[in-house]
A and B are shown apart, each in its own frame.
Chain A
């Protein structure tokens, strides 16, 4: 079965639905019309651009362009993790920690999957490497962002409890253990939920895409299962690494809680 290619006319028809929605918003005074139109245009431009980049990338087949694209994706993900945090680590440390923890988790897991499980040759074939890395990075980014935000705010809000526990002779690991476990849980909840609901509540996007693209449902399901495992592992290790590195920064070598390394963002 071949994919039915979509014409510009088909896409314009779909876009007109959005225009009708914007017109309705204007008519009943919701005030959302500007945002609907702008985000619609942004999405179209961004996706067309990435489509062209991917087309070039798939044609090149070299390692260097794939490498550059991966690093670019990682740097943007690292920026996004820090962008919406309420309290973040001062200076470049926070950026290095979030990028570093995503690098060790997402990149290692993707590399393992490409070389061992999918076994594609060469392992960096962009058609496989870029989408898989993208899915992993996207999910790890969410997990790391939620967990680090919760960790820094938690440590700040609970500074009295932590100091009390230190005063009773607990090590920094014991004194911050409850908060760190709580952050780990929070960071993992989205992926655990989506594994639990997969196939029943929602048909995952990648699988839907493959089925629409003409793959057999069973092949699509196998890839989806693979990617779910990878995402769960990648997110889990990424969150673990980020939590460990950030908590290490929040205690000095005499196991004192040092909160001056955090800056608060309004």
Chain B
């Protein structure tokens, strides 16, 4: 399978002199189409920075970043904006939903930004919310939703434009175990539908649900495991059903 994301000798440094921090250091990395990758490691190892570089939210100090067959580290902010619109979906630990918009309006926003007509954007958003089990929460504002519901809305928003790759930064970091199960079940469904996924997490249980686990330490990859296809899905693992 062709790589959807490709990083060659990527470095991201912050500060200078003695205060220099090597968040990502000479990293080579590839993600194939339809692959689900969990990136793990301790706090401050560069997981989130790696994800931001992949999504074009930040630029590397050195190296090459390719997404969907295009090199993005030398393109303008405008071109990267177009890339995010068409090829990348983001899910954040803090959800980053817009407080003044309803769940439905939050989900349809990327579609509207991409120029989709109002009617089509609304229909697609409604369908996604239904898939996420939030059909009755479409007109609720984020403040009226639970953490798990907010994250499901954020996931629906991330996939509304059918991105090439979905990047999730600690998507279960702010959730309790029930909500975590809900979110992981959604990722399972997306993976089953062929969605390419890169999920950053420091939760070993969440990481255990992936096909491939990449471990990071001090900005470099220390382990890259491709696991045998599992018949146990993530939600069952977390809910304990797989153990019985």
Do A and B associate with each other? no
Which residues from chain B sit less than 8 Å from chain A, CB to CB?
none
